[in-house]
Amino acid sequence: MTLEIIRIPVLSDNYVWLVHEPVSGETMAVDPAIAEPVLEEAKARGWTITQIWNTHWHPDHTGGNAAIKDATGCTITGPAAEAERIPTLDRMVAEGDTVMLGAAEARVIDVPAHTAGHIAFHFGEDQAAFVGDTLFAMGCGRLFEGTAEQMYANMRKLEALGDATRVYCAHEYTLSNGRFALTVEPDNAALVERMNEITAMRDRGEATVPTTIALERVTNPFMRASSVEELAERRAAKDAA
């Protein structure tokens, strides 16, 4: 891996990802909920934020855009389908587009369901995907603006990125997601083992993401759903839990 990726915890359970490409010196923030801790982390490392990439319009993913742009003059890229809801955007992208961070190329993937225009960014060479609120460790995003059909298709798209792909989601939801997953598959040995590890990590105050596609394929009840109907049933049950 050539990219340096730093986790910045903000608000109650959000993660902002700071991504540095060392050859060019470019630095990008993914989904900055707020500005100050992101700017502080970049300054502490001697990095200048040149770009922001947004996965969707929710304020806890875009709230820091304007202040970071004011401080740095950075360029902001985000989903074309949600441009009206992210007024700070400079570049609008959708599936099939590519975005560059210095010499590192990321492919844009459409993953609607949590929001109507949600996107993800996949660095193929670095095997890293920034997925916002679409895929979580042992979970998936609520279907606020989309359907179970869309989320099922999203799981197939992300699964196809390959087992080694590291998944950088935007929230620390793993423990609650795992508890629900155990109600779906209580006899899944891989899930039981992972929950033991996750519980110990959280007891130590440690973050549990990024995750990997390999881990999600064997422990995530939404990626493991065998049909749209099964995913819908599981999402409804999780929402009611």
Task: Catalogue the active-site residues.
Answer: 56, 58, 60-61, 114, 133, 171
Cβ atoms of residues 105 and 132 within 8 Å: no
Cβ atoms of residues 225 and 217 within 8 Å: no
Q: Tokens 């881990």 — which residue?
A: 215
Which residues, 6 or more positions from 126, have their beta carbon under 8 angstroms from its beta carbon? Answer: 1, 2, 3, 104
Q: How far apart are CA 235 and CA 203, in angstroms?
A: 27
Q: How far apart are CA 44 and CA 58, in angstroms?
A: 28
Q: What is the DSSP letter of 165?
A: -
Residues constituting the chain = 241
